[in-house]
Every structure is written in structure tokens, then in C-alpha cells.
Structure 1
Amino acid sequence: MTSSTSSRTPTGAALVLGSCVSLSFGAALATQLFPTLGAWGVTAIRLSIAAIVLLLVVRPAVRAWDRHQWKAAIVFGVALGGMNAAFYAAIDRIPLGPAVAIEFLGPLVLSAVRTRRLADTAWLFLAISGIALLGVDGLVGSDALDPVGIGFALIAAAFWAFYIRASAHAGAVVPGRGALAVAFVVASVLMLPFGVPAAVVAASDPRLILLAIGTALLGSLIPYTLEFSALRMLPQRVFGILLSLEPATATLAGWMLLGQRASPLRLLAIALVIAASVGVSLVRSRSRRGEEAPLTEPATP
């Protein structure tokens, strides 16, 4: 690492941590809209607001795109929409911390499949052990986890793995951030059947409008901006380790804003997932430095 890169590391680290906090508190804010607008209605409004802002800021040169670039951006949008919809459906039923921890299985499994290294398999086993502890806590703990919510979190994990591959491909064939802007448009269009009724309800209440705007800012625009900037400053190892703290920030946000308490067993399970994600980041950085994209592309839901 050069001295120039070293000097930028603290700034990049602060950007990633800011992104984790923003995502977690944005998700916590979104849950306050669920009773009125529904989880998928909130998802649709959030994606639509982010799409409008990104189109105005990025102004993608779509007229110059060829068929392969359009296909890459559309697939990216499908992955983005599915990941967000499944994650919001999950946190409508289970606390933030466990939902994010389960979702991290997506990039962890993808890492193990892509590298096929014994060390990655070991870290994946550690993460699965953490998820198993969440299941045990959900069965014997005082605050049982909704099986449907767990199912949606697992679907979100699968879409996150899909999202990583789709975003990497779109970023390779489409210059700048045009693919990201169009992907948000595609995702918002897919969620339109849920977004239109939710928007009608939200339009009648200024408080709901403000909450929706806050959710879009904290849950999409701010973290995407912070992480894209951080990726230019940080090596893959550091970025992956810092992003692995998101289950912890989600647990904190759930406790502070939603009163979601975590049992010692649940905290241990989340700690195992964080440790597994940190371990995978370290192993992949050492073994395949510069050969692959970061473990987790920006950004989580």
C-alpha cells in the first residue's frame, strides 16, 4: 500500500462506517411506514425516489447504449429490486440484526463457490453455525423469529449474491454510474404495482412523505454515495472487513429506534456471522489480490 493510499484509509473507513449506519437507520426508519404502506409499498417508494434523484444527477447516456449494455443494466435492476423487496419483507417480520446477519449468507456463499478454498468453506461453516444459533434462539428464546421472515431474509441473501455478480458485470460494460441509475428505474418499475397504492396513501399525509424521503436518503442515496467513494480509497480487505460490521449496526439501530432487544444467544450468532465475513475478506484479499471484485459490492438494502 502506498503512502498516498495509507493517508486515504481513515477517510475511506469513515465513509464505509457511515454507510453501514445510514443503511441500518434507514431500514429502521422504513419499518415505521410498514403498518400504513406495507413493506413492499415502502420498497417501491424508496426505490422510485432514489431512481428520480439518480437520473437527475447521473443523466446516463442511454441513447448510446447497445443491446448488451441495456441487458446488463436491466438484469442489475432485477437483482436490485428483488434484494430490496425481500429484505424489507424480512424486517417487517423479524428484527433488523438477525435479518442482516442471515442476508450476509449471500456474499459468503458466493465467495466460497467462486474461490473453492478450504479456508472459505470454514468461514462459511462458521456463518451457518451463527444462523443455526439464530434458529435455536428463535425456537427457545422469549422472542421467537418468524419463519416467514427468516425465509424472506434467505431470499434476500440469494438476491444479494445475484446482485454482486450483476453489478460487477454492469459496471464492466457500462461506463460511469449510468447502470446504477437505470437499475433503480428498472427496480422501481418492477415494484410499481405496490408503489402506486402506497404513493396514493402517502400523498395524503405530509408525515408519511417526509418519512419516505428520509428512508430513500438514508437507505439508498447516502450509503451508495459513501460506498462508491470509499471503494476508491480502500483496499478490498479493509472494505470487506468494515462492511462486515453491518449486522452490528443493524442490531444497534433496531435497539435504539425500535426497541428490539437481542438475547445473548442472538448476539453470539450475529458475532459469528461478522467473524465469518471478516475472515472471508482477509482470505480472499491475500489469495486473490486484484483478481476479483470486492466481497460485497455497494450496497446492501
Structure 2
Amino acid sequence: MLTMSNPPRFSPSAVPVGVRLAAATLGLIREPLVSLGGTTGSAWACGTNVLRIGNPGDLRREVLVMRAASRAVPVPEVLAAAEFIDDKQHPRAVLLLTRLPGRPAADLADVSPARARWWGEVCGHLHAALATVSPPPGLRAAPAVPTSEASATTCLLHLDLHPLNVLVDEAGAVSGVLDWANAAAGPAVLDRARTWSILTLDPEVLPLRTEPRYKALLQGWTRAAGFEQLPPAARAWACQFMLDDRAMRYPASRLDHIRRYLTENLGVGA
């Protein structure tokens, strides 16, 4: 998450068939397609805009979520939407989104620690902004909300708010919040806890914890979002969420440190 390489440009023949079908469904047969990375391969630069491809129900939900979130944070605008059948005869959907300015807050290669700390602070303030947003009707609830938070006010949760999903512009302001696939409704503290766990416990960030720029980004985010005040129940919830979320991506041994945190710091068996 510390540096970002340039996304690969595919020749027309190398772009997955499903992606070409998605572009053709919107009449974008001549636009160059460039992978924007990510583990799912669902986001592609298409000319000056972005294609987002997924299951129809999921993308319909994302449109509603982004519309709600736009009242508080900058999000991509939906320019067009369509459904199609892919090359494997599966129902799929595609959104054409505006490509927002700025670069991911994770792109720290040429950034000073002081600037990285500032970026962390502006990202951390996003949590307070999202806490003011009511979830759209029918949005799924966050899983296994801790009993201690059951009576808390429900708001829109991003649940994947990390430096790769936040764009910052040249002035150091947030210019976009991306990837709303995990959005849910629940107490605001859960979004803060989820981000805390990603920034501190995700296997990919462990080697970065002592790198000066990443350390500064984390310090700024921690300060602005109040991670140090997170209640133990919310931390435990976030650790279990990460264990469930990463179980298919990593061997169990790479998640042992999360289990140790649960037992040694929170007194919870995992």
C-alpha cells in the first residue's frame, strides 16, 4: 500500500472478454482499456472515465450508496449503467463512472513524512463526514454488530476505507472516495474500527509499519479518526471481520498475528 505502480495497459486481444463485452454494451468499442488493479479486476480505465463491472444487484446497491454518500464526500458520478450476459453466460452489470482527479493516498513514493501525515489526517476526517450520512433504504446491515453498539445511531459504513480507496489532490484535499462494494448500515464506530484493522493488522501492511512515510500516514489517520479511543468490542469485531474477509486470500499462518491480538490484547479467543 506504500507505492503504486502504473496499471498495465492491455492490447485489445489481451483484455478479458467480459471486460470487452461490458464496454461494448455501453457502445465504447474504440476506447482504450487499462486495468486499475485490485484483487477482483472489476475496475478499468476507459478513455477518460472508469468502467466498473460486477453483479447486477451489487452494482445497483453501489449506485444507491454513492448517491447517499455524495452528500458528505466526493464520489464518482454515474454516467451510464447497463446489464449484459458475459462470455460464460452469467448476468453482469457495468457502470461508466467519472474518473476523479488526484491519486491514491497510498501513493507515497515521492511524499515527505510531513505531507504523508497531513494526508492521513484528511483521510481520517472522512469517518466523521460519513457518520452524518443516513444509509439508503434497504441497505444490508453490518455483520454481527457488537451488543454494546446495538442501540447506536445507524449510518452509512464504507467498510473498506483505506489509502488505496481514497484519492487526494495536489492541494492535499480528499478528491474521491472509491469502491463502495462493502458498504453497509451500522454504528459509525465500526467503520473506524475496520479502517484501524486494515491500516495496522492487514498482512500486506505489516512490513510498512516502520517505514517513515507510512508510519506518518498512520499517525495522522489515527489522530483524526480517534483510533486510540476505539472500544475493545469494536476492535474485536474488526479483527474477526478481517479474519473472515482474508481467510480465502491468505494461509492461516499469515493471520496468526490477528488471533494473537484478539487473545493477548482483548481477551477474546479466535
TM over 0.5: no
Structure showing the higher strand proportion among its residues: 2
- Provide TM-score, normalisation by structure 1: 0.23
Which structure features the higher share of helix residues? Answer: 1
